[in-house]
């Protein structure tokens, strides 16, 4: 499965009315805390991979997922192969990773407002230490070009410029903002 994502900086107060005009379905707000890990056997910054434990809280409670993100597959979007699974016991997952030599590298915290439109998720992200962003994403088995084109169309409809997309992850942006060479 591939996650196709386009991300731009944008003021949320300007985007919300446009989402209303589109008739996008409000999927609610969540708080996510992503703890990213360094691997003992290779440098994820060099291989453009990521391993994280995400804790997500909303009105329905808290869930935790373990996610692997492969390297970017193109230079036109933030498209990556992704594997993710729910974690029943977050402490056990963290202990398992520590036991295998994986060490926490950084934490990214964000508040997200999620909307659904035309098979895409449009997310208004407020990222601690970085500011406001809009992401448009979907998953696909094999139609990367079609998924990318659809995401660009949604950005256009929201009066956001797809050419201003940011392909660097929030982790990479946060590390760069903090002057950390480990990206």
Is 20 strand, coil or helix? helix
For this structure, is 2 an active site residue? no
**Given the residues 2, 36, 37, 120, the one annotated as active site:** 36
Cβ burial 71-96 (10 Å sphere, 16+ → b, else e): ebeeebbbbbeeeeeebeebeebbee
Token look-up 């499965």 returns 1
DSSP 162: G
Token look-up 């708080």 returns 31
CB neighbours of 78 closer than 8 A, spacing ≥ 6? 3, 4, 5, 6, 7, 72, 165, 167, 169
CB neighbours of 48 closer than 8 A, spacing ≥ 6? 71, 72
Token look-up 């919300």 returns 16
DSSP 24: P
The residues that are catalytic are: 36
């Amino acid at each position: 499965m591939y996650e196709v994502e386009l991300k731009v900086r944008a003021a949320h107060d300007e985007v919300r009315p446009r989402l209303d005009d589109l008739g996008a379905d409000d999927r609610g707000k969540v708080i996510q805390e992503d703890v990213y890990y360094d691997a003992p056997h290779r440098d994820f910054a060099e291989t453009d991979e990521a391993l994280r434990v995400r804790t997500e809280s909303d009105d329905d409670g808290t869930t935790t997922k373990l996610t692997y993100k492969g390297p970017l597959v193109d230079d036109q979007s933030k498209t990556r192969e992704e594997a993710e699974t729910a974690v029943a016991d977050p402490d056990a997952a963290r202990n398992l990773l520590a036991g295998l030599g994986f060490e926490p590298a950084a934490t990214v915290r964000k508040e997200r407002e999620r909307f659904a439109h035309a098979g895409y998720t449009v997310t208004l992200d407020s990222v601690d230490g970085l500011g406001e962003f809009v992401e448009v994403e979907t998953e696909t088995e094999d139609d990367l070009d079609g998924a990318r084109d659809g995401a660009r169309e949604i950005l256009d409809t929201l009066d956001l410029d797809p050419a201003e997309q940011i392909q660097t992850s929030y982790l990479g942006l946060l590390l760069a903002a903090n002057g950390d060479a480990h990206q």
